[in-house]
Amino acid sequence: MSKRNKLQKFAEMLTFPNVYENFHAKKPSLTHLGEEEVNRKGQWNKLHFRTEKPITLELACGRGEYTLELARRYPNRHFIGVDIKGARLWKGARTALDEDLHHVAFLRTRIEYLHHFFAPAEIDEIWITFPDPFPRKSKANRRLSSDFFLDIYRKILRPKGLIHLKTDDPGLYEFSLETWQNASDIHMLYADSDIYKKDLPFPELNIQTYYEKMHLAEGRKIKYLRAQWIPQTSKQKT
């Protein structure tokens, strides 16, 4: 993509009502419609969506393919795709506007800053779809399923909220499974190292992004983890 094309998309996104952006890493604030800073923390349903429904995040959403298809299937929920790459987000945001998917928004920011933009228990569900596996051990904390990111998810998920991981990478799958199993407040609900070997247990797993289709064409197996965050206080009550 040419630099000029990227700049055009960045400029157009400033006019999109379904896009929020964080431009400064050291200043955790959001810009909306290219105007002054706005605060949506704890108020996404009230101030953006204007209705009270469960919110699902897709992290490292790229073009937002999973976010968009989930939204088409589940109109009774709200969806927010999160990515740092603005040129990628443009595609998802443009599609959502063209299809009048008013229950979809996009947030351009680094994932480690999520707790600045969402309040405790504001998020019902998190999807991590085909993230960078960061295979080098020295970069394990950058994996979106690592303990580092689990701590961030705990700050925004509701108790008993769900975390999903879909990946084609065996190393990331095994790392994530071990990490989540070792976390005392993460309850594993389902783990499958080859989801298409049998009937799919959950209908939303048949959503295939551009990259998933490419991985399948290469003969790679698609893996899936489903877990639930159950804080210690919730465990004691049950």
Catalytic residues: 132
The β-bridge partners of 78 are: 55
Distance CA 102, CA 35 (A): 21
Beta carbons within 8 Å of 225's beta carbon, 6+ residues apart: 145, 163, 164, 165, 173, 176, 177, 180, 188, 190, 191
For 174, residues 6+ apart whose C-beta sits below 8 A from its C-beta are none
For residue 105, give both structure tokens.
């928004």
Distances (CA, A) of 218 to 11, 28, 53, 69, 171: 36, 40, 39, 23, 17
